[in-house]
A and B are shown apart, each in its own frame.
Chain A
Amino acid sequence: MILKKSFIIIISFCLMQFLSNNSYTVEPDEVLKNQKQELRARNISKNVRCMVCQNQSIDDSNAPLAKDLRILIRSKIKDGKNDEEIYKFLTDRYGDFILLKPPLKLSTLALWFFPFIFLIIGIFIVFYHNKKSKNF
């Protein structure tokens, strides 16, 4: 019985955590009337780093700067700017760091490909080691 109770408590706690993580901080006055435009704004905001908290997107952050950027993105969408233009506006001012997913550039090649290179080296070492052990 006790086990069942604690199980229910743990599950409800996890569910609460899950729901709270999915809630967003966009305030009602920020939301655009046009649903399509609002969806675009949300998608862009999810990929833009909050420069104050640094490990959250501006879509999740309560920081005043995150709010300012959310409003700015929405006003740019209303002005008819496309996604690339909005990202460019942001990276021109805050650098690529403002993007949660860094772009593939010459300077970020190592970042993108080192994990694969290490994986290949790892596979090679394991494979070679196994082959050697079998020979003994």
Chain B
Amino acid sequence: MKKQLIIIPSILFLLILLTFFYLLIIERNPSEIPSNLIEKNVPKFEAESLINSKKFISHDEFGNEIILVNFFATWCKPCIEEHIYIQRFADEEKIRVIGINYKDNPKKTIKWLNKLGNPYSNVLLDKNGRIAIDWGVYGIPETYVVNSKGIIKYKHIGPITEKIYKKINSLTKEIK
């Protein structure tokens, strides 16, 4: 029994150590929180558009095709980094991308899009961050993949990289 008393806690301790080690070596961002909206319908919202005066009503737009929703701002540096990939989604993959301009100055956004190119089919204004809260956004850039039934299939937090670009591409082909 005395032997067991030493062996059992040692094994338990070793298991805990191995778990910590495993969590340390796998590729993950511990501050990243899984979205609660995956496999759920897109939130209902209405928004002003940056370019045209027509009001954007979410339930009229989602549910017909695969759409990427990208939260961005001109003051957000990583948004510049990922812009090239957003452009590639629109140009090369012909995927519709809706941009939600988070707490920004519309004039600056127009200038920014003129300079970097506009990959968005619609640019919606989220002046007070209320739309972002409905989508469960907590730090931009964030990108959502919505299927043709209007259901959110994937969320990426942070800038899109080559790896994430490929991942989203294969996902959109999968859910087509």
What does the 1/0 interface line of A64-104 toward B look like (CB < 8 Å)? 11001100100000000000000000011111010000000
Number of B residues contacting the other chain (C-beta, 8 Å)? 20
Q: What distance in Å separates the Cβ of B116 from its nearest Cβ neighbour in chain A?
A: 24
Give bound CA distance, A94 to B135, whole Å.
8
Whether A93 lies near B129 (C-beta < 8 A) is no
The verdict on A94 contacting B128 (CB below 8 Å), with A52-B138, A54-B31, A132-B1 known, is: no
Contacts of A69 in B (CB 8 A): 133
Whether B1 lies near A51 (C-beta < 8 A) is no
Contacts of A97 in B (CB 8 A): 33
Q: Is the interface of A mostly helix, strand, loop or mixed?
A: helix
Which of these, B2, B5, B31, B136, contacts A93 with CB under 8 Å? B136
Whether A93 lies near B133 (C-beta < 8 A) is yes
Contacts of A91 in B (CB 8 A): 36
Q: What distance in Å separates the Cβ of A133 from its nearest Cβ neighbour in chain B?
A: 9
Whether B134 lies near A93 (C-beta < 8 A) is yes
Contacts of B103 in A (CB 8 A): 64
Nearest to B36 among chain A residues (CB) is A95
Which of these, B33, B129, B133, B134, contacts A95 with CB under 8 Å? B33
The answer to whether the Cβ of B47 comes within 8 Å of any Cβ in the partner chain is no
Q: What distance in Å separates the Cβ of B33 from its nearest Cβ neighbour in chain A?
A: 5
Whether A92 lies near B138 (C-beta < 8 A) is no
How many residue pairs at the A-B interface have CB separations less than 8 Å? 44
Give bound CA distance, A129 to B3, whole Å.
11
Whether A132 lies near B2 (C-beta < 8 A) is yes
Q: Which of A41-75 contact B (CB under 8 A)?
A: 51-52, 54, 64-65, 68-69, 72
Contacts of B31 in A (CB 8 A): 54
A-B contact list, 27 entries, CB within 8 Å: A51-B138, A52-B138, A64-B103, A65-B129, A65-B133, A65-B138, A68-B129, A68-B130, A68-B133, A72-B133, A93-B36, A93-B37, A93-B43, A93-B133, A93-B134, A93-B135, A93-B136, A94-B33, A94-B36, A94-B136, A94-B138, A95-B33, A95-B35, A95-B136, A97-B33, A125-B5, A129-B5
**4 interchain residue pairs of minimum CB distance:** A51-B138, A95-B36, A93-B136, A68-B129
